[in-house]
Amino acid sequence: MNVDLGQLEAFVQVANQRSFSRAAEALFLTQPSVTARIQALERDLGERLFERSGRGVRLTEVGACFLPHAERVLQVLHSGREAIDSLRNLQSGTLILASATTVSTYVLPGLLKTFRSRFPRVEVNVRTGRSEQVLQMLLSDEAQVGLVRAVYHQDIETKGLVEDELVLVCNAEHELAGQDGITVEQLGDNPFIFFDRTSSYYALAQGLFRQRGVVPRIQMELDSMEATKRMVEEGLGLALLPRISVERELQTGTLVEVGIAGIPNPTRQIALITRRGRPLGPVAQSFVDIVQEMYIGNRGVPVAV
């Protein structure tokens, strides 16, 4: 069967108008074109659909049986087109994001606030994990876009967003609070609180001491960034934490930055990742556009938009 939508549209119009000429006017076609479509449809179905009735036409028994099905097909097509238009205009759809845990806590909220203010009807689904897990989510099509510590893979497009540095922090009452130019060697006797030895932050922090041949005095290890900050606030030790995670505490004064002399603060890049060579849908592309608007081109400094 080679029934096409043009044939169905002509059939429904003739059935409703009870006239080939009026159906042609409604479809902006010539009457011979409408007649040809009906004849082709009748050949495909192997049945007559109309019969003459006075000055017009009426449905045959087969035509009357077929009409509601033809109308349903056209309605489904119309609904499908409306759904596509809605998605294209971001009046519907779902954004599926995967994000490294730290990024989802300290970077993602600002991005999603802007996204939701512009596209409030789009549903957002966020999945979190380590950067390597986020990478696998994209490779297995479980997510459309990822926010991670910069990772590289032949099937992944990586766009750097910001260089996030580790900063040394203590509570406001600590003897080092507000000091600048403290050497790594001078820090050796202070108790340190380390965050999650399986994370890239742990390796960066340890690397800072290793460069100077210093073994840090580890007071405790925690797998929660927020818990680590609270321990430092209570005076239980110093910590090297990503700046994005302590910006609020540094502003309010519950944590104080200590400047380290003779060595730059270690950094890691936060990046946006997508599948290489695979076009994004309108929802995911709009999120990527917002990320680029807020970070890329602003030297990694998030801006209010």
| Residue 265: partners with Cβ closer than 8 Å, 6 or more residues away | 165, 166, 167
51, β-bridge pairs: 58
On whether the CB atoms of residues 125 and 108 are closer than 8 A, the answer is no
Return the amino acid letter for 295.
Answer: Y
pLDDT for residue 22: 93
pLDDT for residue 256: 95
Q: What is the DSSP string of 126-175?
A: EEEE-HHHHHHHHHTTS-SEEEEE----TTEEEEEEEEEEEEEEEETTST
In this model, does residue 299 exceed pLDDT 60?
A: no
pLDDT for residue 211: 84
Q: What Cα–Cα distance (Å) separates residue 90 from each residue in 77, 87, 145, 256, 280?
A: 20, 5, 17, 43, 14
pLDDT for residue 117: 93
Task: Answer yes or no: pTM beyond 0.75.
Answer: no
What gap in Å lies between CA 253 and CA 206, rounded to an integer?
Answer: 26
Pairing mode, strands 191-195 and 217-222: parallel
What is the mean pLDDT of the segment spanning 27-42?
93
What gap in Å lies between CA 253 and CA 268, rounded to an integer?
Answer: 25
In this model, does residue 302 exceed pLDDT 70?
A: no
The domains located in the chain, with CATH, are 5-88 (1.10.10.10), 94-161+268-294 (3.40.190.10), 165-267 (3.40.190.10)
Token readout for 82 is 């409306």
Q: What is the DSSP string of 96-133?
A: EEEEEHHHHHHTHHHHHHHHHHH-TTSEEEEEEE-HHH
Query: Residues 228-280: pLDDT tens digits?
Result: 999 999 999 999 999 999 999 999 999 999 998 878 888 889 999 999 988 88
192, β-bridge pairs: 218, 238
